[in-house]
Amino acid sequence: MDTISTSSFIYNPTFYIFKDASIRQIGKSYTHTPCHHLVSPSPLTIFENDVYVCTNALLKPGITLHTGCVVAQNAIVTKDVPPYAIVGGSPAKILKYRFDEPTRNRLLKLKWWEYHFADFDGIDAMKDINYYLDELESRIQNQTIKPFYPRKMQFEELIQISKQPVSVVKPQTTPQPPQEPSLQDQIISLKEQISKKDNEIKALQTSYQKAANFKNHLSYKLGNSLIKAHKSWYKGGYIKFIFEAIKIKNKHKN
């Protein structure tokens, strides 16, 4: 706490990773003299290939997480984790291995992580692991794929790349001509149309029956007779309606 700053550029020997990127921008130099009496340098924790560490896991400095291992959530790892082991607990212990020993040895010998992931195109990852390794070994032996050595990049360059927009190129597809329905599909479609027409006819028959029943109602007959009387009122239609109404009522009772 007695130094000019609590920033890690005062005491952290690995601060040069960020320092180099910023110094190149301003064109100045900086001689880093870490204060070892303030903080003792911690041993490096080594992550090998295809390592998966879950959230809130604690790792003791200086240990090695070997290829393919998995560290469970909230685990406290105090020693090296073997290849393809799954560890968990406090302190972490081996819960199980991802694969049997022959498969683990085969994976370590193959070193699949040295190849570009595009080299695995066409291999079904959902099938058995040994099927995947068989296919990959075949491609390696036939020299259809070769180890991939990516170009080394500076930290500043990575930042610039991360700011660039990502363009996605959609593959062009050739429009397919409409497919003619099969005979079975045509028969099914015809049956559906016939069934639909049958339902429409049944609905019309029901409506007609309701209308026919309505004509037999007393109110309908009286109303119809009154309309006729109104049309011939000048011929004594209303007087005739009185007698016609009595006749309709008596007939309706019978």
How confident is the model over 28-62, as pLDDT tens digits?
665 655 555 555 667 889 999 999 999 999 999 99
Tell me the CA distances in angstroms from 235 to 21, 60, 232, one per residue in order.
Answer: 114, 117, 5
Chain-wide mean pLDDT for the chain?
79
**37: helix, strand or coil:** coil
**How crowded is the C-beta side of 161, counted as CA atoms within 13 Å?**
6
| CA terminus-to-terminus distance, the chain | 116
Distance CA 189, CA 196 (A): 11
Q: What is the pLDDT of residue 98?
A: 93
> HSE-up of 152 (CA within 13 Å, CB side)?
0
Assign 81 to helix, strand or coil. strand
The amino acid sitting at 43 is: P
- How much is the pTM? 0.50
- Rounded Cα gap, residues 174 and 155, in angstroms: 42
Mean pLDDT of 191-198: 85
Q: One-letter amino acid identity for 140? A: I
Kind plus residue range of the DSSP H or E element containing 64: strand 64-65
pLDDT bucket at 93, cuts 50 / 70 / 90: very high
Q: What would the mean pLDDT of 205-224 be, rounded to a whole number?
A: 70
Cβ proximity of 13 and 32 under 8 Å:
yes
Q: What is the dihedral of CA 23, 28, 29, 35, to 10 degrees?
A: -70
